[in-house]
A = this chain, B = another copy of it.
Amino acid sequence: MLIGKVVGFVVSTRKSENLVGNKFMIVEPVTAMKQSNRIVAVDKVGAGIGELVLVAEGSAARIGCGEDRSPIDAAIVGIVDEGQNLDLE
């Protein structure tokens, strides 16, 4: 998983029917993760813009969120409260 900040979202009206009802958030990894590419992740915990979140990728996002037949490869699965030895700017 990775820790990132929710920096935006996108709206898609014409999409796979298995995606209906999901919110697509843009997550930027925090600097401490040392990776730069942003991710579009489906929100499963009610995250808002500006919040620090935990993102799961790959089949973990799909199966781990009970979305076995949806084209989801990333999901926000937790809100980060605090970190130790980690600069969460």
Contact = CB atoms under 8 A, between A and B. Distances in A.
A63 B80 CA distance: 24
A53 to B, nearest CB: 9
Nearest to A62: B60
Looking at chain A's contact residues, the main secondary structure is mixed
B86 A1 contact: no
Interface residues of A, number: 64
Interface of A: 1-3, 7-16, 18-19, 24, 26, 28, 32-42, 44-46, 49, 54, 56-66, 68-75, 77-86, 88
Given A10-B86, A28-B34, A60-B70, 16 more contacts: A8-B83, A8-B84, A11-B80, A13-B79, A16-B64, A16-B77, A16-B78, A24-B78, A26-B83, A26-B85, A34-B36, A49-B84, A59-B60, A59-B62, A61-B71, A62-B63
